[in-house]
């Protein structure tokens, strides 16, 4: 009997001695419940899709747009250490885009890009696009060209900050955007910066910024890329790459109820990866998910029948 029990004991010791190692099982998607209306979870190392919900629905993505803005800025080859003048908007955006930045002052392109990504600074994104070769129109055209290049067939961009609901994509398309963005060290660095002080000149002043993703500030999370977003039409959005049990995991969470709901979904995903248990969703968030999903289905039916949206 002892000879039979000893190998089993060794196996159990091997599993428990390294709790940070990759689990011996693959998580079952049926065990995961998320509050986000549209979601995808992918093993970024292998490309394997681990979970998906309404992943091909084309929906507004709010400030997640800024990841594409960063790619276009970096692809342009314009010097990151160049000082750019803060210019005033040519037309008022459809939502409140108030900024603390002073018109006429200057900040380096790299710093504008950093606060665009970590703090979702809308005016900074606008200034980056205005200083792009060819200006704003060329910048947005390059955003859409890059989307086609990445195979994002159900994606369209209308502005660099994500202030317009016409910035549309799907959860699966955004996985492709995250994969490309994750290849750029600057984007990894800028999106995971916890706090940053931007130092302007002409006139000289400084502004402090914090990351909009609370998980970046938590030591028990190993976040390697992050972007949050919010519009009334988009709900709360969060896209992120993080290491879980030594596995790089990409998650796309679109249209969540409440500021903390995407954070809760991220926690449920991590628990599911590590233990195969996804956890429960709060009733209000779950009801929002059901209501939004039903509304989307009604809109799609009207569109298919040729009726008004």
Active site residues: 63, 66, 120
SS3 of residue 50 by DSSP: strand
CA distance 275 to 94: 44
* Consecutive H or E run containing 255: strand 247-256
User: DSSP character for 225?
Assistant: E
CA distances to 55, 101, 152, 181 from 67, in Å: 19, 21, 14, 7
Query: Is residue 36 a contact partner of residue 264, using CB atoms and an 8 Å limit?
Result: no
Beta bridge pairs of residue 85: 106
The candidate with the shortest Cα–Cα distance to 239, out of 70, 229, 206, is 229
Beta bridge pairs of residue 198: 207
């Amino acid at each position: 009997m002892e000879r039979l029990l000893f190998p089993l004991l060794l196996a159990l010791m091997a599993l428990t001695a390294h709790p940070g190692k990759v689990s011996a099982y693959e998580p079952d998607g049926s065990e995961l419940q998320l509050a986000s209306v549209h979601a995808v979870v992918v093993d970024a190392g292998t490309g394997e899709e681990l979970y998906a919900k309404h992943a091909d629905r084309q929906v507004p993505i709010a400030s997640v747009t800024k990841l594409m803005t960063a790619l276009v800025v970096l692809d342009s080859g314009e010097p990151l250490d160049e000082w750019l003048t803060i210019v005033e908007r040519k037309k008022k955006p459809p939502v409140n885009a108030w900024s603390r930045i002073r018109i006429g002052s200057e900040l380096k392109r790299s710093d504008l890009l950093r606060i665009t990504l970590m703090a979702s600074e809308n005016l900074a994104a606008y200034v980056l696009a205005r200083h792009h070769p060819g200006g704003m129109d060329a910048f947005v055209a390059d955003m859409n060209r890059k989307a086609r290049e990445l195979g994002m067939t159900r994606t369209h961009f209308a502005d660099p900050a994500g202030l317009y609901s016409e910035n549309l994509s799907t959860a699966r398309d955004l996985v492709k955007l995250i994969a490309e963005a994750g290849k750029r060290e600057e984007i990894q660095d800028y999106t995971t910066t916890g706090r940053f002080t931007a130092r302007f000149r002409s006139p000289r002043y400084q502004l402090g910024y914090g990351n909009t993703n609370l998980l970046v500030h938590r030591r028990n999370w190993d976040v390697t890329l992050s972007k949050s977003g919010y519009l009334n039409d988009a709900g709360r959005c969060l896209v992120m790459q993080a290491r879980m049990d030594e596995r790089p995991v990409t998650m796309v969470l679109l249209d969540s109820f409440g500021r903390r709901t995407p954070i809760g979904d991220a926690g449920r995903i991590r628990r599911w990866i590590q233990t195969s248990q996804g956890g429960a969703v709060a009733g209000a968030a779950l009801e929002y998910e059901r209501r939004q999903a039903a509304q989307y289905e009604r809109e799609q039916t009207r569109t298919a029948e040729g009726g008004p949206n």
